[in-house]
Amino acid sequence: MAKSLITGGAGFIGSHLVDLLLEKGDEVVIIDNLSTGNKVNLNPQSKFYEMDIQDPDLEKVFKKEKPDFVFHLAAQIDVRKSVENPIEDAKINLLGSVNVIENAVKYNTQKFIFASTGGAIYGESEVLPTPENYYEKPLSPYGVHKLAVEKSLFFYNKTQDLDYTVLRMSNVYGPRQNSSGEAGVLAIFIKKLIQQEQPIINGDGGQTRDYVFVKDVARAFISAKNKTESDKFNISTGVEISVNDIFDKVVSSLGINTPKVYQDARKGEQKRSCLNSDKAIAELKWSPEYDIDRGIEETVEWFRKNQS
């Protein structure tokens, strides 16, 4: 039986991955400081350590558990917060990540799988959908630090023989997503509309994103686990959808009639983002199973049951 360690395993994406790994027969260890994760998301079949990835005691967990696979998802996830406080973002997303990598190397982890970002690394791309070989030009400390971790993994691969896979995800949505400020627009819209509050659209709503369902993302991590050569992959649908269209789909799914209300656009917000996942389809043998309508239906159903 393989042992997998997941940082951020009480979080939105991490908890879905934990469930799937357990379903596949792995022994699962979770490290999460619960800053954005939630104990409610913890699978009782897993082993949980409440700990920050920056903690020097992280080594004690690795020494005791000696995981075969490390899935590194713990992060500061708010792009705006990274702009406001780049030093804090660097401490968590760069130095914290290096702490995890160092321990993975020291305790002979077979494979390191890193949750990176697509849109924040490519910036305002002139090629859409954007492939992995497109020039990286992050416009936020969040994107800069995620890219720095990718480059660090390349270094550890060449110097310490660490096998790794990087997943550059587009906009992930689905059940368990945090609907507070750092969350995706879909979760915010659904939560507010269920509570009969008025969601606000930044700018004209014409900005586009590539939305990929969380269960598809969890499957991508499983596919990455079995990839033998170190590389990076976009995990996405390759479909651009505007914020206006997302709003309309959520309203339709809820069976209500709510008007759109707009406010000034946020400075520095990307206008368009869409990733090409052909490489993942070809090499990871992965492809998304959920289209946006099916994904929204399942997400709305979850929020209805868990709106408290």
Going from the C-alpha of 37 to that of each of 16, 52, 55, 85, 176, the distances in angstroms are: 12, 12, 17, 21, 10
What stretches of the chain adopt beta strand conformation (E)?
Answer: 3-7, 27-32, 47-50, 69-72, 111-117, 164-169, 171-173, 201-202, 208-209, 211-213, 231-235, 241-242, 262-263
Query: Does the annotation count 142 as an active-site position?
Result: yes
CA atoms of 76 and 56, how far apart (whole Å): 18
Short-list 13, 5, 23, 12, CA closest to 59? 5
CA atoms of 139 and 266, how far apart (whole Å): 14
CA atoms of 157 and 206, how far apart (whole Å): 41
Rg of the chain over Cα atoms, rounded to whole angstroms, equals: 19
**Cβ-based neighbours of 259, under 8 Å, separated by 6 or more:** none
Amino acid at the residue 94: L
**Cβ-based neighbours of 226, under 8 Å, separated by 6 or more:** none
**122, 142, 156, 290: the active-site residue:** 142
User: Which tokens go with 12?
Assistant: 């939105």
User: Which tokens go with 153?
Assistant: 């993994």
CA pseudo-torsion sign 169, 174, 175, 181:
positive
CA atoms of 59 and 129, how far apart (whole Å): 40
Short-list 290, 133, 125, CA closest to 220? 290
Query: Residues with catalytic annotation?
Result: 142
